[in-house]
Amino acid sequence: MNLIAYWSGNFTLDYLKYLPFGIGAPLLIIILDARVIMDDGNIEFFWCLSFLFGLALIPYAYFFAFGFKKAATVQIMLFLLTFISGFLMPVIITIISFIVDEDNAFAIWSNRIRVISRLFIPSYCFGEALYRMAFKNIISLMDGITDLENDAYSVWHKKISGRDFQFLIV
């Protein structure tokens, strides 16, 4: 069997299995009328983010699986790593960015962890993009923007979620 055909087929099937989440999550946001994700162009960003997350997570899972012999072990480890890197790490690093001066050694190390995580962990990019999307007005205020109706950062801006989006593409 041709390896390219094998892996392309697996990837396509896995992405088709992912699509209910990629489509369902934004639809659920619309149904629940979650304004923080729907307003100011956020819902379009969320649609794109949801589709890209699947495209980035599947090869990551394949690569991660090569280090284990049992499928059950891979599944458990991937679940734990995704929870830690997609939920806990973005929460902690976002909080640090709000309360610690950026010249502080703690903030410098958290920024290094952020860059490394963006490079290698798609769930981190997804989680951080969601948190920063929710806090974009706070981030705009911290940068001295007072007219949030007209001048607040777009969700696509690199200071909000744009960088995470770019890293998911890579």
pLDDT digit string, tens, across residues 29-51 = 999 998 888 887 789 999 999 99
Place 96 in a pLDDT band, splitting at 50, 70 and 90: confident
d(CA 65, CA 46): 28
**For residue 143, what are the domain limits?**
3-169
Q: Could you tell me the pTM of the whole model?
A: 0.87
Instruction: Give the CA distances from residue 137 to residues 144, 155, 163, in Å, rounded to whole numbers and listed in that order.
Output: 11, 10, 17
- Domain count of the chain? 1
Confidence at residue 101, expressed as pLDDT on a 0 to 100 scale: 79
DSSP H helical segments within 33-156, as ranges? 35-38, 42-65, 71-83, 89-99, 105-120, 122-134, 136-142
**Residue 46, both tokens:** 């969320």
